[in-house]
Amino acid sequence: MANVYQIITDRICKLVEEKGHLPWQKPWKRNEAFPCNIERPDKPYKGINFWILISQDRKSPYWMTFNQAKKLGGHVKKGEKGTMIVFWKVKEVEDDKSSKTVNVPFLRYYYVYNTDQVNGIEHKIPKDKTEERPLDFNPLDAAEMILDEMPMPRTMIEHGKNAAYYRPFNDKIGMPDKTDFVGVEEYYSTLFHELSHATGHESRCNRKDAFGIGFGRENYSKEELVAEISASFLCHMAGIEKTIDNSAAYLGSWLKRLKSDPKMLVLAASAAQKATDYILDA
């Protein structure tokens, strides 16, 4: 099997060189589910607020304050509780010793509500731009066999989400519905990616520093490389080939964050092989 891993790694390296500059295509049809304020949909929440809000398992990515709901002509439903998010604010104060004005950051918080917690604003909610008919999903036997025989329980996979993700704090994988994907192969490729992330859990391959770090950080980039290479390995085992171009584009975008070092693919491939072996129970 080691030779198979090397063959796929070499193919990915070559494709990244040839096609890594191409934009990655989201393989499902729904809008991105990155949580954002309803009045600033182009500015998703970042850092801890991203994780706080995505952990609420809401269908809609749009959030608002109590006053924003009123401003939009709606009202928070009776009994609904807001979700606390935080932000840093800078205040100018006078330094006692130097008598100079200095900027002091301090943490503030406020509560936000998801659109499904608010009545009367339906006409203000951005509409899903995709109108395509649902995918006629036909399972792939080889891919299903991998899922049936892996040591991780399939119950950790939860469908019906607006995005694909792995949450290490509760060891759960979120996935859009199968029929939301542009193709059956894209569904399995995405699921294999998230399953590969899940192997980083301390009870499995224990990839230290893989989680709990912000987007764009070096360790996060490395973990994305590991997951996508592992997904490519698993796709090959399942007889799925058509997604590899999109994987190359995805990997190319992360390599930019790692100073465009192609050698990082080879290093990540070693960890990806361990992740794949775990999923295959090899």
Average pLDDT, the chain: 81
**CA-based nearest residue to 198, from 271, 273, 279, 277:** 279
Give the highest mean pLDDT range of 49-53, 148-152, 168-172, 204-208.
Answer: 148-152
What 8-state DSSP symbol labels residue 155?
G
Quickly state the pLDDT bin for 69 (edges 50, 70, 90).
very high
pTM value is 0.62
Q: What is the pLDDT of residues 6-62, one digit of tens each?
A: 776 676 666 666 655 555 566 766 555 578 899 888 788 887 788 788 777 787 889
CB atoms < 10 A from the CB of 175, how many? 21
> Which is it for the CA torsion 244, 247, 253, 255, positive or negative?
negative
Query: Are 236 and 247 spatial neighbours (Cβ–Cβ below 8 Å)?
Result: no
Do residues 265 and 9 make contact, with C-beta atoms less than 8 angstroms apart?
Answer: yes
**DSSP secondary structure string, 61-115?**
-EEE-HHHHHHTT-EEPTT---EEEEEEEEEEEE-TTT--EEEEEEEEEEEEEEG
Which residue in 173, 220, 168 sits closest to 195, CA to CA? 173
Secondary element (H or E) of residue 190: helix 184-198
Six-digit token pair at 71? Answer: 């401003």
CA atoms within 13 A on the CB side of 153: 5
- Residues 6 or more apart whose CB falls under 8 angstroms from that of 19 comprise 245, 248, 249, 252
Distances (CA, A) of 214 to 155, 205, 206, 211: 27, 21, 19, 9
Determine the pLDDT at residue 89: 78
Q: Say how far apart CA 72 and CA 140 lie, in whole Å.
A: 46
106 vs 182 pLDDT, higher one? 182
